[in-house]
Every structure is written in C-alpha cells, then in structure tokens.
Chain A
Amino acid sequence: MSAAPTIAARRSARGPRAYRRNALWLAAMVHRVSGLGLAIFLPFHFLVLALSLRGEAALDGFLRWTDAPAVKLAEGGLVFLLVVHLLGGLRVLLVENLDWRANQTRAALAAGAVAALVAFAFLVRVL
C-alpha cells in the first residue's frame, strides 16, 4: 500500500450542504416563478380593464401605449408564463392523480417548448 497518505489541502466552504439539483427541480422552479409572475401581473391587468369604467376612450388610451413593440415583447413573455404554468400544472395534476411518473423530464421539456412556441406565434402575430 502506498505510504504517505497526506492531507493535501484544507478549504472552508459555505457548509456541507452543497447540493446538485435534478432536472425536475428546474421544471418546478419554472412553475413557481411563472405562477409568481402571473400573480404579480394580474392586479395590473385588472386595473387596466377597469379603465373602461371611465369610458371606452380611457381604455383605448392605454391600449395605444401597448402598441409599442417593447410592450408587445413583454406580452409575449406573459403568454409564455401563462402557457408554461398551465402545462406544468397539468403535469403535476397527472403525476398526482393518474400515477403518471415516467418520462417527466421529457414532459416538462415539452411543456416549455410548447409554451415558447405559443409565445413566439403570439409575437409573430402582433409584431
């Protein structure tokens, strides 16, 4: 047996908790963050719609602002959040209720891809 097994280096760390995420962790984060994003957006969405209480012109005034391409890009982002949250949620409902647990990484990837396609289609339509 080779002798002199030595202590080569000593380094401190944040703690013994270094932890490697698995693929479905990312899917869960996308689901959580998209839900959070939608929840933050909703009050503003409702406030804008309520502008019509002050007449059609008030709502139209705001809608002209949304014609700007930068706003349309942001709307495309919202479409992505909505669709990815819908599909991610359906995936969880299927895992929980229909015992469908195989190929979940692929399913989550497909959900993200479909959401991106729908958002892209939206952008093609409005830009």
Chain B
Amino acid sequence: MNVRLYLWQRGTAALMAPLVLIHVAVVFYATRQGLSAADILGRTRGSVAWGLFYTAFVAAAAIHAGIGLRTILAEWTPLGARGAALTATAFALLLAGLGARAVIAVVMP
C-alpha cells in the first residue's frame, strides 16, 4: 500500500459510508412484503437518481474491494506483490463489469 492506493481505498470507503446506509435502508424497505422483481424494477427502471446511485456504488465498491484484496493477497498468500496486484486488478475489473451489467439490467427502461 502506498499513498495513492491508500487515498483511493479510504476515499471510496468514505464515499460508500452513506451509500451503504441507504442500501441497508432499501434492503429493509424492499423486504417489507417479500422481494419481487416488479417491486425492485418498478423502483429503479428509468430512474436517473437510482442509476447514478448504483453506478457510483459499483465503481467505488470495485475499487475498494480490489485494493483490499490486493493487500490481503500480498499479506496472506505467497503470490507476491506483483501477483497480488494482478489478481486484485482482474477481480476489480470483474466486479466493475458485472456491476455495470447489473446496473444496466435494473435501471434501463
């Protein structure tokens, strides 16, 4: 971890703190009478606000989890610094790709 990665990881953490609170609130709201696709998609489809919310959330989570995973792999596995960085970058890209696809799936009208 150097100053650049630190700034990105703590920065995305600070950004996600309110996002996670909102997300947990939505989880409680959405489960008030069982999850249903109509309920979820009715809320998100065509909504610019939810689109921006989830886009920011996915981007921050991918960066945050990628840097965290890099640290864990470097400290706890024999991958080495380079192996850890490559694996973590691949994982972050996977999260960003799958996350973007999920956002498109629930937000696009």
Contacts and interface: CB of A to CB of B under 8 A. Distances in A.
Interface string B20-36: 11011001100110111
Interface residues of A, number: 35
A45 B23 CA distance: 13
B5 interface: no
B38 to A, nearest CB: 6
A117 interface: no
| Residues of A contacting B: mostly | helix
Interface stretch (A1-9, A17-25, A35-43, A103-111): A35-43
Describe B's contact surface by its main secondary structure: helix
B27 A51 contact: no
B102 A49 contact: yes
Given A39-B68, A60-B37, A86-B20, A46 B31 contact: no
B69 interface: yes
B99 interface: yes
Interface of A: 32, 35-36, 38-39, 42-43, 45-47, 49-53, 56-57, 59-60, 63, 66-67, 79, 82-83, 86, 89-90, 93, 96, 118, 121-122, 125-126
